[in-house]
Amino acid sequence: MWLVMASLLPGLLSCSRMGEREEITETREISTLARKPLAGIADASRFFAEEKPQAEGESQHPLLWKSPEGWQAKPTTQMRLIDFSFGPQGEGECYLSALPGAAGGLSANLNRWRSQMGASALSDEQIEKLPRKNFLGAAAHFMEVEGDFRGMGDAANARKGYKLIGLIHQAPELTLFIKMTGPKALVEANAAAFEQFCQSVQFRAKAQGAEAP
């Protein structure tokens, strides 16, 4: 069977088409672990199609993207479908993850990020006023927050002077997250690379469909 993400494309591909991008040069296979967060959707059978044979060397990852210059690709994990480190010691990180459905809701996820930086929660009205950025043809919520970063599973060890930049894209069937963290100066120096990476991401099926004669 195809990956769940690939089977969810019809709803997402109804979004308006993005402008022309640079040639996509980076593709990676999605690991078995990376599929698991999407496998628990109720009545999952309706999200799957019959698996088709693939040519030798053809990637099954449903996404295409371009790796920013100087960023190092890391192996995927259960939660990270695309994963990078950057900076002299690899202290910066940027990754894309996906969860089925609303994944707890926009407010809960944005405020979870803020809590990781020691920042206060935003009200629904404040969240509505956050800027939007074009991602996969739709308006994704964009947030920047500075503070002392406590990552998941590492709440006792705050990394001081950090900055988080993130995008959340909600669709009926799944929610996509892109999150970048690192020392403030390093993250700000890589803000343009973050933007370029976000704009380069596209669905493989859409890209191949656009290239068909």
Task: Check which CATH number belongs to the domain holding 63 and give it.
Answer: 3.40.1000.10
- What separation in angstroms does the CA of 106 have from each of 11, 47, 127, 129? 19, 23, 9, 13
Over the stretch 168-210, which tens digit does the pLDDT of each residue have?
A: 998 878 899 999 999 999 999 999 999 999 999 998 776 555 5
Identify the residue with better confidence: 41 or 175: 175
Check residue 154 and give its pLDDT.
Answer: 67
* Torsion, Cα of 32, 36, 38, 43 (10° steps): 110
Q: What is the mean pLDDT of the chain?
A: 76
Give the SS3 label for residue 171.
coil
Check residue 204 and give its pLDDT.
Answer: 77
Confidence at 31, pLDDT banded by 50, 70, 90: very low
| Range of the structural domain that residue 183 is part of | 4-14+21-211
Give yes or no for residue 111 having a pLDDT over 60.
Answer: yes
* Rounded-to-integer distance, Cα 158 and Cα 19, Å: 40
Over the stretch 137-150, which tens digit does the pLDDT of each residue have?
A: 899 999 999 999 98
> What global pTM score does this model have?
0.72
Give yes or no for residue 27 having a pLDDT over 80.
Answer: no
CB 130 within 8 A of CB 141: yes
Mean pLDDT of 81-104: 94
Per the structure, the count of domains in the chain is: 1
Q: Which residues of 156-166 are buried (b: 16+ CB within 10 A; e: fewer)?
A: eebbeebbbbb
Confidence at 59, pLDDT banded by 50, 70, 90: low
Portion of the chain with pLDDT greater than 90, in percent: 52
Give yes or no for residue 41 having a pLDDT over 60.
Answer: no
* Rounded-to-integer distance, Cα 94 and Cα 198, Å: 11
Residue 65: burial class (beta carbons within 10 Å; 0-12, 13-18, 19+): buried
Residue indicated by tokens 């060397």? 57
Check residue 104 and give its pLDDT.
Answer: 86
* Rounded-to-integer distance, Cα 148 and Cα 154, Å: 12
Confidence at 155, pLDDT banded by 50, 70, 90: low
